[in-house]
Amino acid sequence: MKQTLASLPRRIRKIFFRADSGYFNGELFDLLENERHNYLVKVKLKNLNRLMLAQEWMLINEKESFCEFKY
């Protein structure tokens, strides 16, 4: 992964990664965060609705909000 990122032209070095939870691990998260890349990991949780309702959401605009939590 490091070699792949290093081979990209400078103008596109910041990339958004999306993957299934089965393909990510702590080392990869550390690499992406250290290189300041964004990422989204798709996960399946049986209690997702209840979990999301319990979070403290911050408003971005009238149609979007976000939260951050550890599970």
Output the six-digit token pair for 10.
Answer: 């400078």
How far apart (Å, rounded) are the C-alpha atoms in residues 62 and 58? Answer: 11
- The residues spanned by each domain of the chain are 2-66
CB-based contact 59:65 (threshold 8 Å): yes
**Residue-level pLDDT at 49:** 86
In this predicted model, what pLDDT tens digit does every residue of 8-54 receive, in sequence order? 666 655 667 777 767 667 787 888 888 788 877 777 778 888 988 99
Strand partners, 39: 17
**Residue-level pLDDT at 55:** 93
